Amino acid sequence: MRAEEEAGLRAEGYRLIAGVDEAGRGSLAGPVVAAAVILPPAAVIDGIDDSKRLSPRRREQLDVAIRGQALAIGIGVVSEKVIDAINILQATFLAMQQAIGALDPSPDFLLIDGDRSPTCSIPHRAIPSGDRLYFPISAASILAKVSRDRMMQQYHRAYPQYGFGQHKGYGTKDHLLAIARFGASPLHRRSFRGVREQL
């Protein structure tokens, strides 16, 4: 993790540095979820990494640890209907804006995963693969992933035929076969390839 760069930001006078990331951007169903988190400079949480590299059990454990040390956490959720209306990139930005806006106290600098960032008046930096490089972004990626996975588990109970509890809405072979067999559910993103062909 590039702790020295975060230390450099603090040396410039930034005290409340938030990491921002999303989960569910590539899914065929359900919302896109973003998280923003401010951790204290002295926070030590062993095992923090890009959420995609961690097992579900480890993510759940780290989610508890992050929440136990965080100064502030914000979660943003944008539904599949809004995704279809404004496109996934703009929906991702909207979820990030919601998450940032929910932080209390407000951050004075943002580290955002990705090569582009939402419109924001707070000083910020967009960082490709930031969830593998920066501790606060990795923490946000875990919070976003765990939050979204829990939502998809709830949706699984409402629509068990699609297997949302297993694949969380991503385009696995079993999921695509279920869409072909049962059609699209109200949770499916109708503008996405893999879904729109079945409408």
Where helices occur in the chain by DSSP H, the ranges are: 3-11, 56-69, 80-86, 88-101, 135-158, 164-167, 173-182
What count of Cα atoms within 13 Å lies in the side-chain half-sphere of residue 68? 8
Longest CA pairwise span in the chain (Å): 58
Q: Sheet holding 72-78: strands in order across?
A: 72-78, 32-38, 17-23, 109-113, 124-127
pLDDT in tens, the chain (199 residues): 567 778 889 899 999 999 999 999 999 999 999 999 999 988 889 999 889 899 999 999 999 999 999 999 999 999 999 999 999 999 999 999 999 999 999 999 999 999 999 999 999 999 999 999 999 999 999 999 999 999 999 999 999 999 999 999 999 999 999 999 999 999 999 999 999 998 8
Distance CA 48, CA 50 (A): 7
Cα→Cα distances 7→40, 42, 63, 75, 193, Å: 12, 11, 24, 25, 43
Short-list 94, 42, 112, 47, CA closest to 70: 42
Report the DSSP beta bridge partners of residue 34.
22, 76
Cα(69)–Cα(43) distance, integer angstroms: 7
**End-to-end CA separation in angstroms for the chain:** 44
The answer to whether 47 and 56 are in contact (CB under 8 A) is: no
Strands 32-38 and 17-23: antiparallel
Q: How far apart are CA 192 and CA 51, in angstroms?
A: 24
pTM, to two decimals: 0.96
151, 143 contact by CB (below 8 A): no
Please state at what angle helix 3-11 crosses helix 135-158, rounded to 10 degrees: 110
Classify domain 3-157 at the CATH superfamily level.
Ribonuclease H-like superfamily/Ribonuclease H (3.30.420.10)
Measured in whole angstroms, the distance separating CA 10 from the mean position of its chain's CA atoms is: 25
